[in-house]
Amino acid sequence: MKGSARAENCCAWREEQGLVGLHRVCMLRWATCSSLPQVYKGLDIITNKVSPQEQRLCRHHMISFVDPLVSNYTVVDFRDKAVALIEDIFARDKIPIVVGGTNYYIESLLWKVLVNTKEKSSLVSGTVTDRKVELEQLDAVDLHRRLSQVDPEMAAKLHPNDKRKVARSLQVFEETGIPHSEILQQQQEEEGGGPLGGPLKYPHSCILWLHADQAALDQRLDQRVDDMLAAGLLEELRDFHQRYNQEKVTENRQDYQHGIFQSIGFKEFHEYLVSEGNCSPETSALLLQKGIQALKQVSKRYARRQNKWVRNRFLKPVCADTQRDSSFPLFSCTHWLPVKGRPSPPRNSATKCLALCPASHG
């Protein structure tokens, strides 16, 4: 759903529920496609941030507050800040709406799935003090061998080339003294926990999933890229590259695996940005088209991963009626909230909404 429709639907829902005058619905927002990078300042177009006009319709949080050069902002940092906001919104008798997004970050808010380790000494731009990032600099084989020595169960589950997860498991052991696999097992054994993690944090959550047929979704994602280009995407990328990445490229220390630089839509244009002005117009045009097509392809792959996560996290457990998620009733929503100037989708629309509303979860 595009930003303006999303915000207008939020306000329409608020009016329909009789909340006007009693509550002002606050949206705790991050992510649509590129998700996590919305916490960083900059790249507003490529990360699909809501506009100031949309933010005036519903208040948003967790947007544009981290310096672009910070590379060690983690899901734990996100969770801690977001949970504090959620509790504050609840305390003011208002309703927080989490809009996502990055699946792992959604999980960090809804379930007890993270492991707390030592606090980083700082989040200063350009300064890496995170032990996990330090471990990632080691050779993949050596990193996996180290994990095998202290946590063979977790090492057996992780591919040696998945340095980020291997490094995280090593970090957990180094900073807690307990194997990562053992901590996860303890979470799963808690009341309300199960094979996917610990118990649900907010037992009365209602989870909405806007599902579209794959062909329709692919077409909309391609159009979304075209719309971004029309909105000034290339100018945004050039400016960001010149301010934050050009010097790193010159010194051969660019990093597209951490921070905002891992955003979908930035690294895909690397060749175009570094060669612009240093090659023929024909070559530059070819590199631009290559970047555009790469962005469309990776966006569709990411959307498929998001859908797979929803099916595995919610739909499979619901359909199987497992003990873990048997309290998640599943509804297919046929009622669409009215948006001024927009007709409601037909009943045979390619887009449907599924709602999962747990009664309780420990």
Domain locations along the chain: 122-189, 233-297
Tell me which DSSP letter residue 286 carries. Answer: H
Q: Is the pLDDT of residue 92 over 70?
A: yes
The token duo for 269 is: 């244009």
Q: Sheet of 59-61: strands edge to edge?
A: 59-61, 26-29, 96-99
Identify the sign of the CA torsion 189, 192, 196, 198. Answer: negative
Tokens of 316: 């499979």
Judged against a pLDDT cut of 90, whether residue 226 lies above it is answered with yes
pLDDT average, residue stretch 182-207:
86
Please report the pLDDT score of residue 295 as a whole number: 96
User: Which of 14-18, 107-111, 234-238, 270-274 is least confident?
Assistant: 14-18
Is residue 122's pLDDT more than 50? no
Please tell me which residue, 207 or 81, carries the higher pLDDT value. 81
Task: Provide the pLDDT for residue 102.
Answer: 81
CA distances from 135 to 29, 161, 162, 180, 331 (A): 31, 13, 12, 15, 44
Residue 228 has pLDDT above 70, yes or no: yes
Q: How confident is the model at residue 17 (pLDDT cuts 50, 70, 90)?
A: very low
Can you tell me the distance from the alpha carbon of 249 to that of 266, in angstroms, rounded to the nearest whole number? Answer: 13
Query: What confidence score (pLDDT) does residue 136 get?
Result: 87
Q: What is the pLDDT of residue 355?
A: 63
Backbone CA torsion sign across 210, 212, 217, 223: negative
pLDDT at 186: 92
Q: List pLDDT tens digits, range 19-69.
A: 322 233 344 543 333 357 788 888 899 888 888 888 888 888 888 999 988
> Across all residues in the chain, what is the average pLDDT?
77
User: Taking residues 2-23, what's their average pLDDT?
Assistant: 38
Compute and round to an integer the Cα radius of gyration of the chain.
Answer: 22
* φ, ψ for residue 356, nearest 5 deg: -125, 120
pLDDT of 316 higher than 90: no
**pLDDT in the model for residue 28:** 52
Most confident listed range (2-6, 17-21, 68-72, 229-233): 229-233
Asked whether the predicted pLDDT for residue 168 surpasses 50, the reply is yes
Give residue-wise pLDDT tens across range 258-313: 778 888 888 999 999 999 888 999 999 999 999 999 999 999 999 999 888 888 87
Longest CA pairwise span in the chain (Å): 64
pLDDT classification of 170: cutoffs 50, 70, 90: very high
Q: Is 214 helix (H, G, I), strand (E, B) or coil?
A: helix
Residue 5 pLDDT greater than 90, yes or no: no
CATH number of the structural domain 122-189: 1.10.20.140
- The predicted model gives 14-18 an average pLDDT of 36
- Res. 187: pLDDT tops 60: yes
In residues, how long is the chain? 362
Residue 331 is predicted with a pLDDT of 55
Give the model's pLDDT for residue 149.
96
132-162 in b/e form (b: 16+ CB < 10 A) is bbebbeeeeeebbebbbebbeebbeebebee
List, for residues 318-331, the tens digit of each pLDDT value.
554 444 444 455 55
Of the pLDDT bands very low, low, confident and very high (cuts 50, 70, 90), residue 317 is low
- Predicted pLDDT of residue 180: 95
pLDDT (average), residues 1-21: 40
For 174-191, what is the mean pLDDT? 92
